[in-house]
Structure formats: C-alpha cells, structure tokens
Structure 1
Amino acid sequence: MLIVIEGLDGAGKRTLTEGLRAGFEAGDKSVTTLAFPRYGESVHADLAAEALHGGHGDLADSVYAMATLFALDRAGAREEILRRTDRYDVVILDRYVASNAAYSAARLHQGADGDVVAWVHDLEFGRFALPRPDWQVLLDVPVELAEQRAVSRAAQESDRARDAYERDGGLQRRTGAVYRALAAADWAGRWVVAAPDVVPAELAGNLLA
C-alpha cells in the first residue's frame, strides 16, 4: 500500500508520518518511509533548494522550471518506490506529486482545475510513470499554525532555514485552498482529510479498512 502525506510547510507531516508508522507496525505491518524533496540525495532537489534560497539567478521565478526540478527528483526515486512497495506492506511518502500540483497552482493563482495541475499530472504520472498512491492524506491545519511551526523548526534545526515558499504567507493560504480542492476531487486517487489533532493509530486503521 502506497500512502502519501500532504500539507503545508509546517503542517506536521513528518510527525504524522512517524505516528502512522507506529500505528501500522502495531498491527504487524512492515513499514518504510521516504520524504520528498530528497535534499542531500538528489541533484534536482538540491538545485531547487538552492534556487529557493536565492541561488541560480532567476530560476525560482519560473513556476514550470521549479516544478520540473521537483518532478525530476521524484522520477529519480521511481525504482526505489517500486522496490519498496514490493518489499513492504506499507510505504509512506512525506510529500509527493500533489505537492507540485498545489504549490504550482497557488504560485500561478490557479485553482485545482487549472492548466498547471493537469500538466503536473501528465508529467509525473504520465511521462515519468510514477506509481499512483492508494491513499493521499491531507493534513489540513490553519496557515497560522503551520507558519508558527515552520518558524520554530527553522530556529531549532540549522539546516532548515525557511525558503521563499515557506516565507510567503499568501502563497501558503492559496496552496491550502488548492490542496482542499484536490482532496475534494480525489485527484489522482483517494484522499482523506485529517485534522491537526488526528490520532495516527485511528487513521492507520481507517486506511487499512
């Protein structure tokens, strides 16, 4: 089973990922996790990160260029994802294709039915043949809470300074709206929306039901 955790920067995706892992393992399921972007492992992810922190000239100004870098990062992990889905009962991904769709649409002030969302779908699931998730979980938290957490994380982790996307409150609000629309439409597969106080063990049970 391939499960994706989606949400704003600072939503608590990493915490939910680990909580779900514990919940599944308590039910005797073998579990593995992978986070995107793969900073420090993928040249495409690292180029994107450098651009979002002011590097590479005007690269970050191009929505499609940045989306392509993030997509290439995932394309480079395609075989690894497939290997893990063969070996484990549950594979949990912290961010996946919907992140690219939501943030790109928000940057262009488009909705979930906009051109860039369709382009991301065709590029990643079509041309790059990435596996479709069985479930996509939207961790839906207020923008203010997500921003608070992102600021706190940046202060505590020296390698997690907030990037241009994370510092843009308007972008985060628009991204949240696109995410909710993607979830409502079951974009690229089934979605479930989780509140900030979701109990991971209960969510794990629901995903297996």
Structure 2
Amino acid sequence: MSGFLLAIEGGDGAGKATAAAEVAARLNAAGRTATVLSFPRYADTLGGHMLGEYLGGRLPHAASPRAAAVLYALDRFESAAVIAEAAAQHDVVVFDRYIASNMAYQAAQAAPGDAREVMGWIARLEIEQFGLPLPDLSVYLDTPVEIARGLILRKRRRSYTDAALDTYEADVALQVRVRDNYAAMAREGLLGRWATLPTVTAGALRPPREIAAAIVALVE
C-alpha cells in the first residue's frame, strides 16, 4: 500500500461527497492519479447492506452505539482488499467518510461519560483488530448544523431510503454532538494529522471548488 490516504470527514450535509469528487478531479487533472471510496458501501458489503436497513428504519429494533459501530467497521473490513488495491494503483485515495466518522457518530449516541471510551474502542476495533490503515490526513469540513440540515434536504434520493432524512440526519441534537466530537478529534489529533476547513464564511457557503483547492494544497 503506497498511495496517500485522504479522509474527508464531517457531519451530514457538510458536502463530503462533492469535495471528494472535486479533489480527485483536480488531482487527476494535475497529473496525480486519484480515486474516491465512499463509506458505507451500501450495495457492496454485508455491513453496508445492514447499515442501509438500519438507517432506513427497517430493522425491528434499535442498535446500541457499539453494535452500530461494528456494522460500520465491518463494512470497511470487508472493503480492505478494495482499499489496498486502490492505494496500490493510485497516488491518492480519497475517502468520503472513514474511521473517524464511526467514532464521531457512535460516541454521539453513547452516554455522555462514555463518549471518549467508545471512540477509543472503535479506533482499536478498526485499526488493531481489523487492520485498517490510518489515514495520512483527515480533513474536517466544519458546517453549522442548521445549514447542513438545509443541504441534506436538497440531496438526491439515496439508495437505502426514500425518506428526506435518514435516522441520523433527522436527529438535530445528534448532529450537534457529532459536530462537537469531530472538533475534538481534530483538535486532539486522534487518528493522526487533521486539518479543519470551515465550509461557511460570512454566512455564505464557500464554493466547492474553493474548498477542494484548499484540500489539494494540504495534500501537496
């Protein structure tokens, strides 16, 4: 595995997919091969399929934070060969969500005093037990929750739900805690090197090309 692993992170509606695609396009245009891997891989893994059922509200009972974390980690574990192949064939692999996403979301659903323990447990599960590679850089797209919610409602139809908001997206308080968790992870350097990019300036969304250019500059 030799490619640079770039994880683009952030809450729902932060523009991760758009940024990942734009970053890869810019890198490829500049002569550096890049590809995007988006997690969860709903149609490609057992873990991804089960997550689609869970987020679409089709499971008969709720999942505990650790149980949900296992599904997200399983999705990546089943994708380990895909990650390794992408890294072997490209200069940069851009992740639209990676390990930090699991940590931020599941810790946000844990009891307040257990959040940090859950984060550590997930990191050990994915890195030590499942052997997934650490990212070389994680970029946190920091987006105010109220703005992100409006962007979610403009998303195209997803493969796993017909609803405008999935289980996580519909919970505003959860999204606030997720944002706090991401900020803490970036501040403390959990999982390695981080950079934080605000996606809103002076009350307006920054253009995707501007965000992508900033991310490419960090990679280079």
- The two structures have a TM-score, normalised by structure 2, of 0.88
Give the direction of change, closer, same or farther, for the CA distance of 1:199–1:61 in structure 2 (3 Å limit). closer
Do the aligned partners of 2:11 and 2:179 also contact (CA within 8 Å) in 1?
A: yes
2:21 corresponding residue in structure 1: 18
> Which amino acid is 1:116 matched to?
V
Do the aligned partners of 1:10 and 1:147 also contact (CA within 8 Å) in 2?
A: yes
Aligned-partner SS, 1:152: coil
Q: 1:51 aligns with which of 33, 40, 54?
A: 54
Distance 1:151 1:138 in 2: 21
1:203 corresponding residue in structure 2: 215
Do the aligned partners of 1:105 and 1:111 also contact (CA within 8 Å) in 2?
A: no
Measured against aligned partners, the alpha-carbon deviations of 1:133-180 in whole angstroms (never above 9, x if no partner) come to 000010101101111111111xx4264532111100000000000000
Distance 2:152 2:113 in 1: 25
2:157 corresponding residue in structure 1: 157
Q: 1:67 aligns with which of 38, 50, 69?
A: 69
> Which amino acid is 2:130 matched to?
F
Identity of aligned residues (%): 37
Q: List alignment gaps of at least 5 residues for structure 1.
A: none
Q: CA deviation at 1:52?
A: 2.4
Do the aligned partners of 2:139 and 2:215 also contact (CA within 8 Å) in 1?
A: no
> Which amino acid is 1:122 matched to?
R
1:177 corresponding residue in structure 2: 180
Aligned-partner SS, 1:47: helix
Q: CA deviation at 1:112?
A: 9.5
Distance 1:21 1:141 in 2: 21
Aligned-partner SS, 2:168: helix
2:190 corresponding residue in structure 1: 187
Do the aligned partners of 1:112 and 1:178 also contact (CA within 8 Å) in 2?
A: no
- The two structures have a TM-score, normalised by structure 1, of 0.92
Measured against aligned partners, the alpha-carbon deviations of 1:34-78 in whole angstroms (never above 9, x if no partner) come to 1000011112111122122222321x3311111101100000111
Q: List alignment gaps of at least 5 residues for structure 2.
A: 200-205
Distance 2:84 2:195 in 1: 23
Give the direction of change, closer, same or farther, for the CA distance of 1:149–1:112 in structure 2 (3 Å limit). farther
Whichever structure has more helix as a proportion of its residues is 1
Distance 1:167 1:119 in 2: 26
> Which amino acid is 1:192 matched to?
A
> Which amino acid is 1:201 matched to?
A
Q: How many residues align?
A: 205
Do the aligned partners of 2:53 and 2:59 also contact (CA within 8 Å) in 1?
A: yes
Aligned-partner SS, 1:61: coil
Runs of at least 4 residues off by over 4 Å: none
2:104 corresponding residue in structure 1: 102
| Aligned alpha-carbon RMSD (Å) | 1.6
